[in-house]
Every structure is written in C-alpha cells, then in structure tokens.
Amino acid sequence: MGRSREEILAEIKKCRAADLSDGMDALGLVNKGSMSTEMRPIRPGISFVGYAWTVKLVPSDESFTPCETVEEYVEQNKRFCSDAYSFMKDLNAQDVTDHVLVIDMGGYPGGVLGSENMMNFHIKGMAGAVVDGGCRDSYECNLQNVNAFSTKRTFHHVSGRMKGDGVNIPVNCAGVTVEPGDYVVADDDGVLVIPKDKAEEVLKFAKAILESDQQKRKDHYEALGYEPDETLSRI
C-alpha cells in the first residue's frame, strides 16, 4: 500500500528542491515541473512545501472611472475586489492547512498578494503562496515574514485590472500546469511542482540523492574543520 499524502508531504519537506528536481529527471520528467526562473521569493531564505490550491485570474472587462469622492472610489474598489477575490469564499470554507496558494494571472503585474491578505492566509494555516503575477507591500510583507513567490513586484492592485476565472482547477503558473493537490516545493532555487501521482516515485530517487550528498558534504566539512549544521541531517 502506498503512503498517505500526509506521509508523502512529510518526506518531501526533508528534501531540497534540487534533490526533487533530480528525482523528476530520473523519471524522464525533465523541466516538466520547473516554474520559470522569473518566479522568485520576495526575500532570500524562504522555503515551503504544500498541496496546490489553485486560482485563475484573467483581465477585467472594466476598470475605474474617475471619482470625485472617497466614497465613490471605495464603492468601485469594493465591487472590483469582490470579483478578483471571489476565490476567498471557497478558501474560507475549506481546511487549507499545509496548502500553497497557486495563482495564475498570466504574468500580469498586478498585486493580488499583499501584507494584509498574506497574513490572513498564514492564520488559516497555508504554507505560502506562488503567483504568476504581482506581490505588493513588499516592505511590510518582509517585516511580517510572508512566504510568497511571484514573477512580478508592483505597487498596482488587481482591483479594476483582473477578475476571477475559477478555483481548484488546472492552471498554468509560470510555465507549469498545476493540478489541485499537486505538491509545490519552493526554496531559494525556485519553485518545483511534483504531480501528485508521481510523488512517491520522485521521492525514491530524491532521498537517495540527498543521502549521498549529505555524506559527501559531511566528509568535506570534517576536512575543512567546519561545524556540522542542519543541512547535514535532513534525513
């Protein structure tokens, strides 16, 4: 009997994206799950793993008209946001612990992620977010240790620019087709998507690769007089 998805997730968390990518290569899945190199963390040192929870946004059919009062702007913004963030209704109704929010915006430079909503996702137990589009409020996001990767950095909102087009459906994020429930692995090297039906096979190779690397690096540490660190005892 195969392992549960929770067991698989726990094992994937022990590996580096590099090991898992090599495991994908071993199955002939060369570059298949590798997001574009434009997909980068909003700061160094971010890493997370989780199940894909997908969202698709597309360009809006309408945008803001000139406002004379703050109240007019607030009303327009509320209407546009209710569409662009319509996925929140589904997200709030589900247990999204250990999930990664994967948003396909076709690379549009609009900030669907920001300092407030990313804190909200963290409260709900999400591991992080990956968006083929924009993240804004960068300084605040980094103060808050937000776990986010994006292909664009921007001060633009998605309000009046993008609208919802589906949740928990197959999406194309930074060049990779992502199915709901696939495993998303993110670290300083980039973002890798492992198809859920291939994860156990990928792990077989990835763990062997990691074990070999750890032993060789341990020998190098000893030769150079380095103190051991956590990278030598992942598994």
Relative orientation angle of helices 5-12 and 199-224, to the nearest 10 degrees:
30
Q: Which of 159, 175, 193 is the last residue of a domain?
A: 193
Residues 188, 200 within the same domain = no
Q: Is residue 11 part of a domain?
A: no
Residues 172, 201 within the same domain = no
Residues 26, 50 within the same domain = no
141-155 mean pLDDT: 95
Residues 118, 129 within the same domain = yes
Split into its structural domains, the chain has a count of 2
DSSP the chain: -PPPHHHHHHHHTTS-HHHHHHHHHHTT-TTTTB--TT-EESSTT--EEEEEEEEEEEE-S------SSHHHHHHHHHHHHHHHTTHHHHHHTS--TTEEEEEEEEEEEEEEE-HHHHHHHHHTT--EEEEEEEE--HHHHHHTT--EEEEEE-S-BSTTTEEEEEESS-EEETTEEE-TT-EEEEETTEEEEE-TTTHHHHHHHHHHHHHHHHHHHHHHHHHHTPPP-GGG---
Domain that holds residue 217: 17-32+195-235
Q: Is the pLDDT score of 1 beyond 70? A: no
Residues 149, 59 within the same domain = yes
Q: Is residue 227 part of a domain?
A: yes
Q: Which residues lie closer than 8 Å to 180 by C-beta, 6 or more apart?
A: 51, 52, 53, 54, 168, 169, 170
Residues 153, 202 within the same domain = no
Residues 207, 160 within the same domain = no
Q: What is the CATH number of the domain that holds 118?
A: 3.50.30.40
Q: Is residue 6 part of a domain?
A: no
Q: Is residue 2 part of a domain?
A: no
Q: Is residue 10 part of a domain?
A: no
Residues 137, 216 within the same domain = no
Instruction: Kindly report, residue by residue over 35-85, the tens digit of the pLDDT.
Output: 999 999 999 999 999 999 999 999 999 999 999 999 999 999 999 999 999
Residues 178, 102 within the same domain = yes
Tell me the pLDDT of the chain averaged across its residues. 95
pLDDT band at 169 (very low <50, low <70, confident <90, very high): very high
State the pLDDT at residue 99: 98
Instruction: Kindly report, residue by residue over 105-128, the tens digit of the pLDDT.
Output: 999 999 999 999 999 999 999 999
Instruction: Kindly report, residue by residue over 16-46, the tens digit of the pLDDT.
Output: 999 999 999 999 999 999 999 999 999 999 9
Residues 143, 229 within the same domain = no
Q: Is residue 85 part of a domain?
A: yes
pTM of the model: 0.94
Residues 160, 224 within the same domain = no
